[in-house]
């Protein structure tokens, strides 16, 4: 309990110090409504989290499986591993990327709170250390409860991957266009070198990602630095979403470590096993 109180005081101080331009007024009173401190060792709490399994999205290389997500000394580890996992859905000659691979050469983990916790507006904090290597694609994100992607709305509080061979950290939002499954994006890509210039040991440390979300804006911060401020008056879905605004509905939380795929790039073999480590996830709302 002492650890939680200390971290709450520190994290609220850090986020307030870095949020002068954010939607969150310094005089507002915030109540912790949901959190996971990942205390102890062992499996994640399945009352809070779901596991994804298999090949899921974005032509990624990894096979998601529960055993790659575990708590170690109060830290959640999502571990990417070199592996050889038979694909039970394999079909020789199939044009479907999820079926035409006889084996998964990598495994990893993805967890989410769908159906167990969601929130509409508030202040979310995630303290994490990411594997900043080629082929790694860690993320902190949310999806709306209603409608199909992208009309349900996606908020990427954090992504890391290489863009044209150059590593970047991203802060994005996506919503639906006039074409089904075709997203409109408000995306900010910050070269990873920007953070290394501040601290050459950046990758060895934990960092604090913050999202402040209200009916007008979504502001995303990293260690108090504003990365993206999204005006949600512009995030109106096209025809497939029936012109709804996906950021005016509850969202659930996702944490995952993808490998390769559309954005991850070709993995560095000597980087395995790679670990994406999360100290805590906390969600506050105004009292």
Structural domain spans, the chain: 2-286
Q: What is the pLDDT of residue 119?
A: 98
The Cβ of residue 75 has, within 10 Å, a number of other Cβ atoms equal to: 20
Which token pair is 171? 């802060």
Q: What is the pLDDT of residue 242?
A: 82
Q: What is the pLDDT of residue 198?
A: 95
Q: What is the pLDDT of residue 167?
A: 97
Backbone angles phi, psi at 42, to 5 degrees: 115, -155
Q: What is the pLDDT along the chain (287 residues), one digit of tens a residue?
A: 445 544 454 444 444 444 433 434 445 789 999 999 999 999 999 999 999 999 999 999 999 999 999 999 999 999 999 999 999 999 999 999 999 999 999 999 999 999 999 999 999 999 999 999 999 999 999 999 999 999 999 999 999 999 999 999 999 999 999 999 999 999 999 999 999 999 999 999 999 999 999 999 999 999 999 999 999 999 999 988 888 999 999 999 999 999 999 998 999 899 999 999 999 999 999 98
What is the reported pTM?
Answer: 0.90
Q: What is the pLDDT of residue 4?
A: 52
Q: What is the pLDDT of residue 27?
A: 56
The hierarchical CATH code for the domain 2-286 is 2.60.120.200
Q: What is the pLDDT of residue 283?
A: 98
Q: What is the pLDDT of residue 240?
A: 83
Specify the length of the chain in residues: 287
What DSSP string runs through the chain?
A: -HHHHHHHHHHHHHHHHT-TTSSS-TT--EEEEEEE---SSBS--TTT-EE--BS-STT-SEEE-GGGEEEETTEEEEEEEEEEEE-TT--TT-S-TTTS-SEEEEEE-EEE-TTT--BSSEEEEEEEE---STTEEEEEEEEESSSSTTTT-EEEEEEEEEETTEEEEEEEEEEE-SSTT-EEEEEEEEEHHHHHHH-TTGGGS-EEEEEEE-SSEEEEEETTEEEEEEEGGG----GGGTT--GGGS-EEEEEEEEESHHHH-SPPGGGPSEEEEEEEEEEEEE-
Q: What is the pLDDT of residue 132?
A: 96
């Amino acid at each position: 309990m002492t650890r939680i109180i200390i971290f709450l005081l520190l994290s609220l101080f850090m986020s307030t110090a870095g949020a002068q331009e954010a939607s969150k007024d310094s005089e507002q009173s915030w109540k912790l409504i949901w959190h996971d401190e990942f205390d102890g060792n062992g499996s994640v709490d399945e009352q809070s989290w779901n596991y994804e399994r298999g090949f899921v999205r974005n032509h990624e290389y990894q096979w998601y499986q529960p055993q790659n997500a575990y708590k170690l000394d109060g830290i959640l580890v999502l571990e990417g591993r070199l592996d050889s996992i038979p694909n039970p859905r394999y079909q020789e000659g199939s044009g479907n990327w999820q079926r035409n691979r006889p084996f998964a050469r990598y495994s990893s983990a993805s967890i989410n709170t769908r159906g167990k916790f969601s929130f509409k507006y508030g202040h979310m904090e995630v303290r994490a250390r990411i594997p900043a290597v080629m082929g790694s694609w860690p993320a902190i994100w949310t999806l709306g409860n209603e409608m199909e992607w992208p009309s349900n709305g996606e908020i990427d509080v954090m992504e890391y991957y290489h863009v044209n061979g150059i590593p970047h950290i991203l802060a994005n939002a996506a919503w639906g266009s006039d074409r089904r499954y075709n997203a409109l994006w408000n995306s900010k890509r910050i070269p990873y070198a920007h953070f290394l210039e501040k601290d050459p040991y950046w990758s060895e440390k934990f960092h604090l990602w913050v999202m402040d979300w209200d009916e007008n804006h979504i502001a995303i911060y990293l260690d108090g630095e504003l990365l993206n401020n999204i005006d949600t008056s512009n995030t109106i879905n096209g025809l497939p979403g029936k012109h709804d605004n996906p950021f005016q509905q509850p969202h659930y939380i996702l944490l995952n470590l993808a490998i390769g795929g559309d954005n991850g790039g070709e993995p560095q073999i000597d980087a395995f096993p790679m670990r994406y480590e999360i100290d805590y996830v906390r969600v506050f709302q105004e009292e």
